Amino acid sequence: MMKFFIKNRKPILIGAGILTALLIIKSRRKKPILRPLPTLSMLPKATIQSIAAMQYQAMAQFGTDEELLVRSLEGLGAEDLKAVYNEFGLRPNFMGDSGEYFGRDLDLFGWYAEDLDPTDEDDIPVIADLKRIWSVTPLKFPY
């Protein structure tokens, strides 16, 4: 084992150096801050939490549960939608899925942008539905 390290110390040291540099860069990266929206929602906190959890659940794994994504927001007014946005907050996202270790902290709209593809014919109607639902709030889709 020791022989292996001595023999390969150069690539091992370079590898360890690169890993350390990446960890330093990650820790220094500016963390995004969420600006909560003022809201007069009258829905119970538990309801808002459960809707935000459904939004997350619909996107957190590989692919998207389009039906849950839209259905869980259908019928909510502007104040409740803003409360859901606040409750979702920032959650670590890695290429459209949950990413505890390598993820970037994204707000709900950052998650939509990562998860939904405006050129994918399955996603087009979902994007249209979400645009309609959120159009009563100041929050706008990036595309």
- Judged by CB under 5 A, the chain residues 79 through 138 that form the site for Ca ion are 96-97, 115
CA distance 65 to 23: 33
Shortest distance in whole angstroms from residue 59 CB to Ca ion: 5
> Among 70, 37, 64, 39, which residue's Cα sits nearest to residue 139?
37
DSSP state of 30: P
Query: With contacts defined by CB under 5 A, how many residues of the chain interact with Ca ion?
Result: 4
Q: Which is nearer to Ca ion, 47 or 103 (CB)?
A: 103
- Judged by CB under 5 A, the chain residues 27 through 56 that form the site for Ca ion are none
Shortest distance in whole angstroms from residue 7 CB to Ca ion: 43
Taking the CB of residue 48, how many other CB atoms lie within 10 A of it?
Answer: 22
Shortest distance in whole angstroms from residue 141 CB to Ca ion: 17
Beta bridge partners of 93: 98, 104
- Judged by CB under 5 A, the chain residues 56 through 75 that form the site for Ca ion are 59
Residue 12 · residue 5 · CB < 8 Å = yes
Q: Which is nearer to Ca ion, 41 or 112 (CB)?
A: 112
3-state secondary structure of 104: strand
Using CB under 5 A as the criterion, which residues of the chain lie in contact with Ca ion when the complex forms? 59, 96-97, 115
